[in-house]
Amino acid sequence: MSKLLEGKVAYITGGSRGIGQGIVEAFAEHGVAAIAFAGLETPEEVSNIIENLDNQGVRSRYFQYNVASLSETETAVKEAIDAFGRIDILVNNAGITRDTLLMRMGESDWDAVINVNLKSVFNHTKAVQPYMLKQRSGSIINTSSIVGITGNAGQTNYSASKAGIIGFTKSIAKEVGSRNIRCNAIAPGFIDTLMTEKLPAEIKQKWIEQIGLRRMGTIEDVARCAVFFASDLSAYVTGQVLVCDGGM
């Protein structure tokens, strides 16, 4: 198996389940030396992930904290640096939904989604940036969404947060490119996750009929995009949004 990420150190938010966990597993398969990952689950609830990483010879640290807090983020990132010495790859993947039409959306629904989905990207990029600048290398990967490009009824908060990530990505790419730091985004489409499995079968089928490949995407599909951006395969790619939606 190719080791596209051999020797690299990654930091992944939202890494304890879903797409984030898939990225953790994909990075391990491709040879990372160490992974720090953050999530809402307790350390006990992610013990299987840690055990799998150990079995593959990947050092790991798990952090449970409020990703919308800059101070808590800086503390966790510093602990990761102290443990592993560097961070080569940052994946900003933490995200939540609070879907409802705008007329019914409360201020707390708006604030929660913006804080977790968008402010956390600011927090972690700001916290990791000084170390990457010192290294004069790094890859920052932000998880956006197809609805950040197209919009979606009932998801004004989520769509706004994901569109904001795209603007942030393109701006950071311009700010840090001269230091050999790249910043790209992935915009997944209709992916088979815990979020989407709750949808009624008829809704799923309606979405699938709009997809060119006539199937839902898998976590592995998105994780492979993250491997591409994290590796030297994309050494001359920055400020881009890779749409992973099966042609939807």
Which residues participate in catalysis according to the annotation?
158
In angstroms and rounded to an integer, the radius of gyration of the C-alpha atoms of the chain is 17
Q: What spatial distance separates the first Cα and last Cα of the chain, rounded to whole Å?
A: 31
- Sheet of 138-143, strands arranged across: 59-63, 34-38, 9-12, 89-92, 138-143, 181-188, 241-244
> Which amino acid, one-letter code, is at 49?
I
The DSSP H or E segment spanning 242 is strand 241-244
Q: Give the up-direction half-sphere exposure of residue 184: CA atoms within 13 A in the CB hemisphere.
A: 21
DSSP state of 118: I
- Least Cα distance to 168 among 96, 92, 221, 71 occurs for 92
Q: Give the up-direction half-sphere exposure of residue 60: CA atoms within 13 A in the CB hemisphere.
A: 26
Say how far apart CA 123 and CA 147 lie, in whole Å. Answer: 23
Q: 70-84 vs 120-135: helix axis angle to the nearest 10?
A: 30
Say how far apart CA 50 and CA 58 lie, in whole Å. Answer: 9
